Amino acid sequence: MGEMYHEIARLLTAAHKCSALTGAGISAESGIATFRSKGGLWDTYDPAVYASIDVFNQDPSKYWTIRGDFIRNYNDYTPNSAHRALAELERMGILRCVITQNIDGLHRKAGSGNVIEIHGSLREIYCLKCHRRYIAPDVPEGTPPYCSCGGILKPDTVLFGEQLPEDALIKAREESMSCSAMLVIGTSAAVQPAASLPYLAQQHGAKIIEINIEPAFPGADYCITEKAGIALPEIVQQIRSMG
């Protein structure tokens, strides 16, 4: 394993542009449940029911019922060593951007500057009627919660069946097509279009380095079967030791 870390460190240092694609697994060590891994949220709740825009429009109380079991208050969670290692790789001039499927805001809290949140963020909720925005709120009272104007509140995240924010998707595709190495961390690669980004990167010549306790990307050039919170600091350490 030590030799593989060394090779990856060499690859990342030599690559002219590196990007990272992250999923729920990178935040597992911050205490946020993943969706699909064993014991994950979706063992208990069907996302097609609880996290789809159609159902939200018909009965928003379903979403707000499970929201507290998923991520309670935006400010309750702190980045772990994996988020911090990615921020450090950016400061070292190695990582150009983090494309994340996560909605927990932990990459920004860890200090990453260039974060593309393709599924939006729980940092804000907004009123469907008057469009007032509430920044980094506690989960409001009520299932569903209402704005003072009487409108229903919705998180600023992409629910199943909703379009991804176009700017973010365009940027994510551009970064994928122009990087020469991509770290793919803690994602089951089951949700499109995020799952196609490593393939896009690979088609354009990038090497793929997967970090996952249960690898999900069979085409990866390198695969570290390890917790992100252990593997990423080790990569940073290897790069530092190369001087």
Residues that bind ligand NAD (CB under 6 A): 23-25, 27-29, 32, 34-37, 40, 101-104, 119, 186-188, 190-191, 211-214, 216, 227-228
The least CB distance from residue 197 to ligand NAD, in Å, is: 12
Q: Closest-CB residue for ligand NAD?
A: 25
Residue with tokens 């891994």: 37
The least CB distance from residue 98 to ligand NAD, in Å, is: 13
Report whether 222 contacts 8 (CB < 8 A): yes
> Based on CB atoms, which residue is closest to ligand NAD, 179 or 211?
211
Report whether 129 contacts 150 (CB < 8 A): yes
CB burial class (10 A; 0-12, 13-18, 19+) of residue 46?
exposed
The least CB distance from residue 161 to ligand NAD, in Å, is: 13
The least CB distance from residue 90 to ligand NAD, in Å, is: 19
Q: Single out the residue of 40, 24, 19, 37 nearest to residue 157, CA to CA.
A: 24
> Based on CB atoms, which residue is closest to ligand NAD, 147 or 182?
182
> Based on CB atoms, which residue is closest to ligand NAD, 83 or 147?
83
> Based on CB atoms, which residue is closest to ligand NAD, 12 or 32?
32
Active site residues per annotation: 119
Q: Which long-range contacts does 160-163 make (Cβ < 8 Å, 24+ apart)?
A: 160/47, 160/48, 160/51, 160/52, 160/53, 161/52, 161/53, 161/54, 162/53
